[in-house]
Amino acid sequence: MDSFTFLSSTTATAAATAPVTKQNVSLGLLSLILLVFIGRRVFCVYFGPLAKFPGPKLAAATLWYEFYYDVILKGRYTFKIKELHEKYGMH
């Protein structure tokens, strides 16, 4: 079996088992966007400019940390920052 026949048969099999539909394309696009978002956050936290600063990684990666203390706990974020400075120090 030559390489062209092998590639043709595997491509035909893959195409027969996974038809291209709007739902599959949407799911693939959503997965790609999610993967890029998570990849960028991981890069920023561990390899980017914020990597050298100590503190909670969730706070460095997203705004959910601030949202939780400001919205859910009704404006406690400034007090949490003070606690974090006492725990980790001023860099």
| DSSP secondary structure, 46-73, as one string | HTSGGGGS-S-HHHHH-SHHHHIIIIIT
pLDDT digits (tens, 9 = 90+) for 16-59: 676 889 999 999 999 999 999 999 999 989 998 878 889 999 88
Q: Is the pLDDT of residue 8 over 90?
A: no
The reported pLDDT for the residue numbered 14 is 56
Those residues whose C-beta lies under 8 Å from the C-beta of residue 44, and which sit 6 or more positions away, are: 50, 51, 60, 61
The band of 90, judged by pLDDT with boundaries at 50, 70 and 90, is confident
Quickly count: other Cβ atoms within 10 Å of residue 59's Cβ.
20
